Amino acid sequence: MAKNLLLFLSLFTFFIISCSDDVMHVSDLDVKLEKSVRDAAPDNSLDYWVLHNSKDLENIPQDPRNPLTPSKVELGNFLFFETGIALDNKFDAGKQTYSCSSCHIAEADFKPGRMQGIGDGGFGTGNVGETRLKHESYPGAADLDVQGIRPLTVLNVAYSAKNTQWNGSFGSGHANEGFEHRFSDDVDAGLALNNLGYEGLETQLQEGFSLHRFKMDPAIADSLGYIELFDAAFPDVPVEERYSPLNVALAMAAYLRTINTTEAPFQKWLKGDKYALTDQEKRGALLMFTKANCTSCHSGPAFSDTRFFAIGVNNLDELATFVDEPRALNKNFGRGFFTGNADDLHKFKVPTLYNLTGTPFYFHGSSKRSLREVVEYFNDAIPENPDVPTELIASNFKPLGMTESEIDDLTAFLANGLDDPTVERYKPSYLPSGLCFPNNDIVSRREHGCD
Ligand code: HEC
Ligand code: HEC
């Protein structure tokens, strides 16, 4: 009896100790992390970092000229994946074979699965776009729809939508205030659209509609089964203007503003689930907000910003690519190409840090192939591109002195803590046209199981 009691007591004590040990351990790290996350928020709150749920249309950041409604988001969701509108194809083989999601593939965190995406003129998809190739009937790179820079993800774009693209050239206000003299097609195609006064996302997608070779008119909307969807989304627009490229752009922008990475473990941690992150990821998060100083540039709920910095990475043309035309090379100049100021050369948009594992291509020139390499690059702070003058490099791009295990911790936080593994939920299960997507060429159709 006494023996049993002793056993019971020792087991009980063991349980209490191990339990409280665990609780102490978790909470100590949580307390530290919570303090650093609050300190980095302008209002000292955890809520500041919480991304808006896709259904929270009232509070998602939006362009007052393009208010979010469920019908507009639904229309934009279909159109973003719609291959039926791919009707401004350069050669016959491209007709109705591509979509916005040729280069922003849901399964690849809305990137193309290769360092350069191909829209019109490409064929094949593979699992995540990694095997998409140039179609033989498109003679040269200049005939393809490709860009001379690695595609940005469109996840969380609502949080940096006032000025979009790596050089922030779209959007009439915010960072672009004072640069109205650059809102001209003489500077770069489509920039005159900034004069319409929309935010960056709404402006860019008007340009993107023609750049990526789409068409829309009442007959097309009708033939693809979209009339009712446009009617519901734009009831106040006169019917003769309703089925238009502008409304395609506005609906797509509305949809893109809702596709936020709200199911990432760090988001769950912010909302109170302290077990959503492992201890290693918490240590990594703590580094990101403190010693590694990442949030001095990656600010805002999506760790993305409409500020521009030079961190001296290589351009895409250092690697074998499809594009060598002057317009593509202009992309290498970053923000400076848009503003026309030498001080802004080689500065690029601060991209979101959520969902970084869908493709192994990092930085605007795809110069890094793994997240650990990216973290090491910031830790060493040695610019890799000799063409970027030292005086242009951001002053807070400096050696961090992290140990190997700290580098591991920060990498683990980026790879897992900031990864929403369910972003495929933002992909429709069918299209009103009934066509195959994201690509609809013969090879992709077979790969997607459409035939
Ligand atoms: C041929 C590949 C390709 C296609 C097709 C494509 N994109 Fe992109 N997308 C890119 C590239 C490359 C960038 C980065 C360009 C830059 O910043 O200069 C980009 C950037 C963007 C951005 C800016 C994100 C940010 O954070 O600033 C948005 C939004 C976007 N694309 C939406 C779309 C939409 C909507 C469509 C269809 C109308 C589309 N894209 C079609 C390649 C593509
Ligand atoms: C000086 C400002 C600055 C600091 C500090 C900074 N970043 Fe960045 N980060 C950027 C900019 C700007 C880019 C895009 C650069 C480019 O591609 O030209 C970027 C790109 C990245 C990318 C690549 C994302 C992609 O889509 O390719 C990752 C990952 C990243 N940063 C993580 C971090 C981490 C982790 C830290 C802290 C160790 C950090 N950054 C510190 C400005 C900064």
Domain of 235: which CATH number?
1.10.760.10
pLDDT surpassing 80 at residue 137: yes
Entry pTM: 0.94
Q: Are 299 and 332 members of one domain? A: yes
Straight-line distance from the first to the last Cα atom of the chain, in angstroms, rounded to the nearest whole number: 74
Which distant-in-sequence residues (6+ apart) come within 8 Å of 86 by Cβ?
94, 95, 96, 97, 98, 99, 119, 120, 213, 214, 440
**Residue 320 has what pLDDT?**
64
Phi-psi region of 141 (alpha: psi -120 to 50; beta: other; left: phi over 0): alpha
* Number of domains the chain contains: 2
Cα distance between residue 22 and residue 27, in whole Å: 8
Question: What is the Cα 423 distance to its own chain's centre?
Answer: 12
What is the CA 450 to chain-centroid distance, rounded?
A: 28
Nearest in space to 208 (alpha carbons), one of 305, 120, 313, 309: 120
Residues 220 and 271 in one domain: no
Q: What is the pLDDT of residue 451?
A: 86
Who's near 13: CB < 8 A, 6+ residues apart? Answer: none
Q: Are 359 and 108 in contact (CB under 8 A)?
A: yes
To test the pocket of ligand 1, the residue of 89, 147, 163, 214 to mutate (highest count of ligand atoms within 8 Å of its CB) is: 147
Look up the domain containing 108 and give its range.
Answer: 70-260+423-448
Instruction: Determine which of 44-58, 88-102, 322-336 has the lowest per-residue pLDDT on average.
Output: 322-336
Residue 60 lies in a domain: no
Asked whether residue 2 is domain-assigned, the answer is: no
From the CA of 144, how far away is ligand 2's center (Å)? 30
Nearest CA to ligand 1 atom 21: 152
Contact 175, 342 (CB under 8 A): no
Task: Please report the pLDDT score of residue 15 as a whole number.
Answer: 43
Q: How confident is the model at residue 261 (pLDDT cuts 50, 70, 90)?
A: very high
Nearest to 282 by CA among 41, 35, 42: 35
Q: Whose CA is nearest to atom 2 of ligand 2?
A: 297
Q: Is 233 a domain residue?
A: yes
Q: For residue 339, give the amino acid letter.
A: T
CB 443 within 8 A of CB 309: no
State yes or no: pLDDT of 92 exceeds 70.
Answer: yes
Residues 136 and 284 in one domain: no
Q: Report how far residue 244's alpha carbon sits from residue 414's, in angstroms, rounded to the nearest whole number.
A: 40
**Ligand located closest to 248 CA:** 1
Residue 7 placed within a domain: no
- Which residue matches tokens 């205030």? 177
